[in-house]
């Protein structure tokens, strides 16, 4: 029998082992030994907990210049991200990438709705003319999603007084009558007032809106109390310096989309995602260079890619971020049909470790069907994780609800390589599906995706906080307080991994029960 050691020397005896328990990430992903891996093929070994989960910060880069407080993105798919999803993703600390399977003007309008939703100073407020009717105001409310509009009218001494149109009439043709408020009875901060100073005036005024005027009394910007409340309710919100919500949108590699891009920029776009199923093409490289030369204020996220060689070409062209993933999405069949792609875990580690040498953040796009997959993508080097099917069932996605044959409430979800998308017609007959998969001139359309449905997941306002809290608890189990610390721990070999057999996967899930309920969260 082996000699029993002194328990007080357990930590010293542990040092006798040549390495930590489990596998170094490079050994885990050694394809000569194990082949290429997906997220389900491994686990992260636990570390030491010395802090509460609430102290874990998930702040992480999504591109060279922009950082998210929740490293989660919604995919630019027409059943996942429209303006409503983009607004709520940004409010909750993530980022929604508005799809481009629509006419350019429609996509630009979605960008405007995101940028107008929450503001610091509203520099170009929507206003009502002196002769505006209740019907006009109702149309503006339906278009923009908010109901308070300045009404500008000529006033004494040639300055403009501001009024809020309160819609309470039953007759849409009735003209809006506003009670005149003399300028001296209002606290109107002058031009040059800081946002903090203006917020304090607004807070003390107990009014819904605060106009900022120049020395002639002309309206130059506006501040909204509802935005002040949103700052309280959404502390993680992704915002730019103007305090507007951060907004991203997709374009194709086609030259024709240069016109689309200009419209998006005019609408206030912050990040452009060049969307292609295979990102290493002369078309994408040309588009990246065009954007960097003509719109230097934009960050460009390029992709999709799965190899270092692809990454090098896009980084050299000027990409500010990369999307990793080819054929790993839940509605994608590229790997099966085209025999091209790469298992997601191996792809994420290979590309992100290379891109990190140039300071280019990577987004793990696809293969995410649960919270654990998000953590694994981050652990392998991704700065953020993009989701499609996981978010398609939320109320804020553009997909339509219907009841399945089994009586369950579901939502339509389709891959951008599906025949359903490829056959949909946009302006001038173009669509994002054929552009993304280089099929626009093909007589025979070869599907690289499917159309289906996903279970209703309720509102993103409950689901995304669940994902954020889950990732925080996971990092607590691993023993790190941030995404950067997670990356450092993995690279230095302090955070270890373990392979999983099929039996281990079965053991790690629910088993041996006659029946059970799987409620993922409560709020």
CATH number for 145:
3.10.580.10
**Closest of 396, 464, 475, 77 to residue 237, by C-alpha:** 464
Q: Are 416 and 396 in contact (CB under 8 A)?
A: no
**69, 103, 193, 200 from 196: Cα distances, Å:** 22, 39, 8, 6
CATH number for 422:
3.20.20.70
Task: State how many domains the chain has.
Answer: 2
Any binding-site annotation on 321? no
Catalytic residue flag (residue 436): yes
What is the pLDDT, as a whole number, of residue 458? Answer: 93
What is the pLDDT, as a whole number, of residue 522? Answer: 74
Question: Are residues 333 and 404 located together in one domain of the fold?
Answer: yes
What is the pLDDT, as a whole number, of residue 22? Answer: 97
Question: Are residues 174 and 297 located together in one domain of the fold?
Answer: no
Residue 20: inside a domain:
no
- Predicted confidence (pLDDT) at residue 517 exceeds the cutoff of 50: yes
**Closest of 331, 285, 339, 345 to residue 312, by C-alpha:** 285
Report the C-alpha gap between 468 and 327 in whole angstroms.
26
Residue 26: inside a domain:
no
Any binding-site annotation on 7? no
Q: What is the mean pLDDT of residues 337-365?
A: 96
Average per-residue pLDDT in the chain? 85
Residue corresponding to tokens 């993009």: 386
Question: Are residues 111 and 245 located together in one domain of the fold?
Answer: yes
Instruction: Considering only residues 450 and 151, tell me which one the structure prediction assigns the higher pLDDT.
Output: 450
Residue 379: inside a domain:
yes
Residue 284: inside a domain:
yes
Confidence of residue 116 (pLDDT cuts 50, 70, 90): confident
Residue 174: inside a domain:
yes
Any binding-site annotation on 417? yes
Catalytic residue, chosen from 323, 342, 436, 457, is 436
Any binding-site annotation on 145? no
Any binding-site annotation on 433? no
What is the pLDDT, as a whole number, of residue 123? Answer: 54
Domain C-terminal end among 197, 224, 251: 224
What is the pLDDT, as a whole number, of residue 164? Answer: 42
Question: Are residues 154 and 175 located together in one domain of the fold?
Answer: yes
Confidence of residue 321 (pLDDT cuts 50, 70, 90): very high
Question: Are residues 213 and 292 located together in one domain of the fold?
Answer: no
Question: Are residues 267 and 401 located together in one domain of the fold?
Answer: yes
Any binding-site annotation on 413? yes
Residue 386: inside a domain:
yes
What is the pLDDT, as a whole number, of residue 514? Answer: 79
**33, 471, 486, 502, 510 from 375: Cα distances, Å:** 24, 6, 10, 20, 20
Catalytic residue flag (residue 102): no
Residues 46-102 have pLDDT tens digits of 999 999 999 999 999 999 999 999 999 999 999 999 999 999 999 999 999 999 999
- Predicted confidence (pLDDT) at residue 17 exceeds the cutoff of 50: yes
**Range in 107-116, 117-126, 327-336, 350-359 with the lowest mean pLDDT:** 117-126
Angle at 329 between CA 495 and CA 249, to 5 degrees: 95
pLDDT over 70, % of the chain: 74
Any binding-site annotation on 203? no
pLDDT over 90, % of the chain: 59
Question: Are residues 278 and 416 located together in one domain of the fold?
Answer: yes
Question: Are residues 484 and 378 located together in one domain of the fold?
Answer: yes
**258, 369, 392 from 329: Cα distances, Å:** 28, 9, 12
Instruction: Name the token pair of 385.
Output: 């994780």
- Structural domain containing residue 173: 134-224
What is the pLDDT, as a whole number, of residue 174? Answer: 52
Residue 194: inside a domain:
yes
Buried b (16+ CB within 10 A) or exposed e, 407-425: eeebbbbbbbbbbbbbebe
- Predicted confidence (pLDDT) at residue 134 exceeds the cutoff of 80: no
Question: Are residues 212 and 245 located together in one domain of the fold?
Answer: no
Report the C-alpha gap between 391 and 378 in whole angstroms.
18
What is the pLDDT, as a whole number, of residue 184? Answer: 45
Catalytic residue, chosen from 112, 116, 247, 332, is 332
Q: What is the mean pLDDT of residues 340-350?
A: 96
Residue corresponding to tokens 């792809």: 347
Question: Are residues 276 and 349 located together in one domain of the fold?
Answer: yes
Pick from 211-215, 445-449, 452-456, 491-495 the range whose average pLDDT is largest. 491-495
Question: Are residues 321 and 213 located together in one domain of the fold?
Answer: no
Question: Are residues 328 and 186 located together in one domain of the fold?
Answer: no
Confidence of residue 432 (pLDDT cuts 50, 70, 90): low
Any binding-site annotation on 388? yes
Residues 250-291 have pLDDT tens digits of 999 999 999 999 999 999 999 999 999 999 999 999 999 999
Report the C-alpha gap between 273 and 301 in whole angstroms.
5
Residue 170: inside a domain:
yes
- Three-state SS at 35: coil
């Amino acid at each position: 029998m082996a000699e029993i050691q002194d328990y007080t020397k357990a930590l010293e005896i542990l040092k006798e082992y040549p390495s930590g328990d489990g596998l170094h990430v490079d050994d885990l992903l050694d394809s000569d030994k194990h082949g290429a891996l997906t997220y389900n093929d491994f686990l992260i070994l636990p570390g030491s907990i010395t802090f509460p989960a609430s102290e874990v910060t998930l702040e992480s880069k999504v591109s060279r210049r922009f950082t998210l407080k929740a490293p989660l993105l919604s995919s630019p798919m027409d059943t996942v991200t429209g303006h409503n999803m983009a607004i709520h993703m940004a409010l909750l600390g993530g980022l929604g990438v508005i799809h481009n399977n629509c006419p350019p003007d429609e996509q630009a309008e979605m960008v405007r709705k995101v940028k107008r939703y929450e503001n610091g100073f509203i520099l170009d407020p929507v206003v009502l003319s002196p002769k505006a009717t209740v019907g006009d105001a109702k149309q503006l409310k339906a278009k923009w999603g908010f109901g308070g509009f300045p009404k500008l009218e000529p006033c004494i001494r040639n300055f403009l007084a501001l009024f809020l149109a309160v819609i309470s009439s039953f007759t849409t043709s009735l003209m809006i009558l506003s009670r005149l408020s003399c300028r001296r009875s209002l606290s109107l901060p002058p031009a040059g007032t800081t946002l903090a100073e203006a917020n304090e005036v607004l807070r003390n005024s107990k009014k819904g809106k605060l106009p900022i005027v120049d020395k002639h009394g002309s309206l130059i910007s506006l501040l909204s109390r509802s935005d002040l409340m949103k700052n309280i309710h959404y502390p993680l919100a992704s915002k730019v310096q103007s305090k507007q919500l951060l907004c991203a949108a997709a374009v194709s590699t086609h030259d024709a989309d240069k016109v689309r891009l200009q419209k998006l920029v005019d609408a206030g776009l912050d990040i452009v995602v060049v969307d292609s199923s295979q990102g290493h093409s002369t078309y994408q490289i040309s588009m990246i260079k065009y954007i960097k030369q003509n719109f230097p204020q934009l960050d460009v996220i390029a992709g999709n890619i799965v190899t270092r060689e692809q990454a090098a070409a896009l980084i050299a062209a000027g990409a500010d971020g990369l999307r990793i993933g080819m054929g790993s999405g839940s509605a994608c069949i590229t790997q099966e049909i085209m025999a091209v792609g790469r298992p997601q875990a191996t792809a994420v580690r290979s590309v992100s470790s290379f891109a990190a040498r140039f300071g280019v953040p990577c987004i793990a796009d696809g293969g995410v069907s649960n919270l654990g997959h998000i953590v694994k993508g981050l652990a392998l080097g991704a700065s953020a994780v993009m989701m499609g099917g996981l978010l398609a069932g939320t109320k804020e996605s553009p997909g339509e609800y219907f009841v399945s044959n089994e009586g369950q409430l579901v939502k339509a979800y389709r891959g951008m390589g599906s025949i359903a998308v490829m056959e949909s017609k946009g302006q001038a007959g173009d669509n994002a599906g054929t552009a993304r998969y280089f099929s626009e001139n093909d007589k025979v359309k070869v599907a690289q995706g499917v159309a289906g449905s996903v279970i209703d997941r309720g509102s993103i306002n409950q689901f995304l906080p669940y994902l954020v809290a889950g990732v925080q608890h996971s990092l607590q189990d691993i023993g790190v307080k941030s995404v950067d610390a997670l990356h450092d721990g993995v690279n230095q070999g302090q955070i270890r991994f373990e392979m999983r057999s099929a039996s281990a996967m079965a053991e790690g899930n629910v088993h041996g029960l006659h029946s059970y309920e799987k409620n993922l969260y409560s709020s």
